[in-house]
Structure 1
Amino acid sequence: MHMTAAAERAIRQGHPWVYDTGIARMKGNGRSGDIAILFSRKNKFLAVGLYDPHGPIRVRVLHQGSPATIDAAWWQTQLMQAAQVRAPLLATQTDGYRLVHGENDGFPGLVIDRYGQTFVMKLYTSAWVPHVPALVNSLRQVVQPKRIVLRLNRSMLNYPDELFGLQEGDVLWGEPVAGVVLFQENGLWFAADVVAGQKTGFFLDQRENRARVEALAMGKSVLNVFAYSGGFSLYAARGGATEVASLDMSEPALQAAAYNFTLNLGNPNVAAAKHELLLGDAFVQMEALMANGRSFDMVIIDPPAFAKKQAEVERALGAYRRLVKLGVAVLRPGGTLVMASCSSRVSAAAFFELVVETARKQKRPLRQIERTRHALDHPIAFAEGAYLKCLFAQA
């Protein structure tokens, strides 16, 4: 493939995507997963990547700069480098983390998450399907897993012929999955549904923010909004929170939160904390809490991605404003607000400004404690890869 001038510049700057508009000409008709060799307008080698004939991203760059052989040894080396980055986590009683963070670890369109000795490989493009056997073999060499589970992005189901019989939840290696998989995060036990749970079974990216909540929770009442399986709630309880309310619209998620608490009842702080489950829409339930005069010493709001495309940004900003208003309304004076966003389309600067300004207009000016971004197992290697931001503040 020969690139346009704009695509050539982007590749030289390390961008991992080549859009369909960036291809000046190509030889032959590639199939999904074919290795694409990219050349400059002057016929000089630029990069090598995986070809995907569907969607606007046609090539996901694996390597750029100088020619490289993409073979079993190359995959294994890349995985070893990713594992070395995460090595410090092993000293923190943590065996649940992201081993491969897509483009940011040199595996564009692929993530691999660890849950104990179970590793979950999630594909976001069918371009990875032909390379699954090589990846499984490399994983076995690098991490010696008990099992490897496959998850598929829903968009891949539109092209069943390119899956070659692979299905969501397949065990690619090792023992069948029987129920949930247990893992540790900073010494706390959690259960993950690696076959049918959201993402790969758990939201691993908030581990460090959960630990920050623990450090601030002593003696406090805590409301955890969009609680899912209770990660923030459990950390708050271990940190000495007297009561914790987990709010989510999913009953199975709240059941999982309750189960995660039972896994940790050996900790006296967890055992002593009152854990309340609140089922319902976050906006509606927070309005009800406010109407009933309930308030908390700490309010944690960690919503899903409201803006997955540019056209949704304005609506997302409106939702964030509503959440901040509701959050400070049920937050006691001097309490702690923890407000997070995982929408990559909303910049960190815009998000933080929105939270601060909205609280100010509610006559609840914020005193910042900390602003946080990505943890070490979610590195960011290009601008579009940044998505997570979180503000800790006193109001």
Structure 2
Amino acid sequence: MTIAPAELLAHIPPPSGRRLALRVTPAAQRALRQGHPWLFEQAITDQREPGRPGDLAVIFDDQRRFLAIGLYDPTSVIRVRILHHGAPAAINQAWFAAQLTAAAARRADLPTQGTTGYRLVHGENDGLPGLVIDRYDAILVLKVYTAAWIPHLPTLLAALAEVMTAQGVVLRLSREMRRQPALLYGLEDAMTLAGDLPNPAVRFTENGLCFEADVLRGQKTGFFFDQRENRAAVAGLAAGRRTLNVFAYTGGFSLYAASGGAPEVLSLDISAPALAAAVRNFELNQHLPAVAAATHTVLAADAFDALAALRERRQRFDLVIVDPPALAKQEREIEGAVRAYQRLTRLSVDVLAPAGTLVMASCSSRVSAADFFAAVEQAAAEVDRPLHIFARSGHALDHPIAFAEGAYLKCLFAAVR
């Protein structure tokens, strides 16, 4: 764990005091008037001077009227991430504090529901594009997806301190950001920007269940908060059902199933460290009678291979949960992702007991909800295990969707005939 000294943040060059003026295509003008948060490189028709990452760019229409202001990033095809539409605004600490206050207000009820781990800022959908802030009880984790945020970090941290008290603030960087060290001014992934992080394994609660997440090395920021409501739904389905959790990661769905009365739970994931964390999460909840009574086993293996092996051994489960990682991050990967979802469906229904229940999710934004649901239904029908989908779900309240491209999560709950 590395702690960023105060002087390191002080040495980050501030954004230029001079704002970039941009003209854009008619199509881009229409999109910005409708509130879209991105301006792409090819949409810029006039730019009189170059800009640095983090410079504020003001976008005008053909009549030189203000359209929007945002963060400029010359290293990204998303050249400007829009902060404010419609009328001029001063982008400063007070502006950031107002955005953070509004985001916190939208999540204000979660702690009253036994949840101290959740997404505080969901990027573009909370008006702060290219930035995610996850709360793990007293620890906040900032995930930065564009170099445009680096010059604004000192101001953002000051605004964050106004809005929420935290023991520590941790910086996580996207893979693309980690490939641009010259733009980071000494900042590193997993660095503590403010306060203190006594232990990278941070505890928090979700619907009253206790979890532990590694906020320095875990995927994303350490945990997948977006599935909270789907996990709760699984708890309501699990009583008396032998459960298989595929792509289990640190056992979120598994623990919920046990808490809901599943007598046996098998967590399957290719990552042995993730499964060790799943075991630890079960240990943290042994005070709950249902969790203590459940038999929890783990299997470190490739999901496709393991499902096929379970089928060959004629092992059957009453509840199967399939929550794979994003399978289509680019347009050219969509077709392969759909085939993978179908293959996973066929393998999963083959290990389901008669009248079993399938819970299957997709976090691939490039695969539409309609295409995902259709692919799963078709694959199940092809192996003579037709589905009766009794529930579909999308995003939880701490993962709001403000524009079409921001929607990614979809989940189905189905009885298998």
TM-score in terms of structure 1 length: 0.99
Report the CA distance between 1:178 and its aligned residue: 2.0
Partner Cα separation in structure 2 for residue 330 and residue 254 of structure 1: 21
Conserved? CA contact 2:139–2:197, under 8 Å: no
Name the residue aligned to 1:358: 379
Q: Is residue 2:129 matched to residue 1:101?
A: no
Report the CA distance between 1:27 and its aligned residue: 2.2
Partner Cα separation in structure 1 for residue 358 and residue 177 of structure 2: 38
Report the CA distance between 1:160 and its aligned residue: 1.4
Partner Cα separation in structure 2 for residue 176 and residue 354 of structure 1: 44
Q: Is residue 2:275 matched to residue 1:279?
A: no
Q: Is residue 2:192 matched to residue 1:171?
A: yes
For 1:308, the aligned partner's letter is K
For 1:254, the aligned partner's letter is L
Q: Is residue 2:162 matched to residue 1:162?
A: no
- Which runs of structure 2 are paired with 1:50-65 in the superposition (5 Å)? 50-65=71-86
Q: Is residue 2:152 matched to residue 1:142?
A: no
Conserved? CA contact 2:178–2:189, under 8 Å: no
- Which runs of structure 2 are paired with 1:1-395 in the superposition (5 Å)? 1-395=22-416
Which moved further from structure 2: 270-279 or 175-184?
Answer: 175-184
Report the number of matched residues: 395
Report the CA distance between 1:134 and its aligned residue: 1.1
Report the CA distance between 1:138 and its aligned residue: 1.2
Partner Cα separation in structure 1 for residue 200 and residue 329 of structure 2: 31
Report the CA distance between 1:264 and its aligned residue: 0.2
CA RMSD of superposed structures (Å): 0.7
- Residue deviations 1:322-375, cap 9 Å, x none? 000001000011110001000000000000111111111111111112000000
Three-state SS of the structure 1 residue aligned to 2:319 is strand
Partner Cα separation in structure 2 for residue 176 and residue 344 of structure 1: 33
Partner Cα separation in structure 1 for residue 351 and residue 208 of structure 2: 31
Partner Cα separation in structure 1 for residue 321 and residue 193 of structure 2: 37
Partner Cα separation in structure 2 for residue 369 and residue 256 of structure 1: 32
Three-state SS of the structure 1 residue aligned to 2:211 is strand
For 2:29, the aligned partner's letter is E
Report the CA distance between 1:87 and its aligned residue: 0.8
Three-state SS of the structure 1 residue aligned to 2:109 is helix
Report the CA distance between 1:157 and its aligned residue: 2.3
- Residue deviations 1:284-331, cap 9 Å, x none? 000000000100000000000000000000110110010000010000
For 1:318, the aligned partner's letter is R
Partner Cα separation in structure 2 for residue 61 and residue 187 of structure 1: 37
For 1:234, the aligned partner's letter is L
Partner Cα separation in structure 2 for residue 272 and residue 317 of structure 1: 38
Partner Cα separation in structure 1 for residue 49 and residue 145 of structure 2: 24
Partner Cα separation in structure 1 for residue 42 and residue 198 of structure 2: 43
Q: Which runs of 4+ in 1 moved over 6 A?
A: none
Three-state SS of the structure 2 residue aligned to 1:337 is strand
- Residue deviations 1:111-132, cap 9 Å, x none? 0000011000000000000011
- Residue deviations 1:74-95, cap 9 Å, x none? 0000000000000111111000
User: Which 5+ residue runs of structure 2 have no aligned equivalent?
Assistant: 1-21
Partner Cα separation in structure 2 for residue 231 and residue 263 of structure 1: 12
Partner Cα separation in structure 2 for residue 282 and residue 348 of structure 1: 23
Conserved? CA contact 1:337–1:392, under 8 Å: yes
Report the CA distance between 1:179 and its aligned residue: 3.4
Conserved? CA contact 1:214–1:239, under 8 Å: yes
Which moved further from structure 2: 83-92 or 235-244?
Answer: 83-92
- Residue deviations 1:127-146, cap 9 Å, x none? 00001111111111111111
Conserved? CA contact 1:139–1:145, under 8 Å: no
Which moved further from structure 2: 247-256 or 150-159?
Answer: 150-159
Partner Cα separation in structure 2 for residue 362 and residue 163 of structure 1: 52
Partner Cα separation in structure 2 for residue 105 and residue 115 of structure 1: 18
Partner Cα separation in structure 2 for residue 287 and residue 160 of structure 1: 43
Three-state SS of the structure 2 residue aligned to 1:121 is strand
User: Which 5+ residue runs of structure 1 have no aligned equivalent?
Assistant: none
Name the residue aligned to 2:13: none
For 1:52, the aligned partner's letter is D
Three-state SS of the structure 2 residue aligned to 1:355 is helix
Three-state SS of the structure 1 residue aligned to 2:268 is strand
Report the CA distance between 1:164 and its aligned residue: 1.1
Report the CA distance between 1:159 and its aligned residue: 2.0
Name the residue aligned to 2:17: none
